[in-house]
Amino acid sequence: MDEDEIEDVIEVRDSNGNLLNNGDTVFIIKDLKVKGGGVLKRGTKIKNIRLTDGDEGVLGNSDTMKGLSIKAEYVKKG
């Protein structure tokens, strides 16, 4: 295997310990305040997530808000 073929694998787990993958759909497990004055209600669906290795862990969009950055401990796999 060449160095070019080696990918950095990011392992992010949800609040229940399930392994998340890019493109998964997750749900918010508690109401979260959003910068800019909004609130994400419990049960909000976040579709087509992208994983990060930072503090947030999950990037994605809901039906009402775009560009969300959420800690993985506040989501569960759908």
Q: Would you say residue 31 has pLDDT above 70?
A: yes
| Res 1: pLDDT | 46
Domains of the chain: 3-77 (2.30.30.40)
Buried b (16+ CB within 10 A) or exposed e, 26-61: bbbbeebeeeeeeebeeebebeebebeeeeebbbbe
Q: Kindly tell me if the per-residue pLDDT of 6 is higher than 70.
A: no
> Greater confidence, 16 or 36?
16
Quick one: pLDDT at residue 5? Answer: 46
Cβ pair 70, 57 in contact under 8 A: yes
pLDDT at position 44 is 95
pTM for the model stands at 0.82
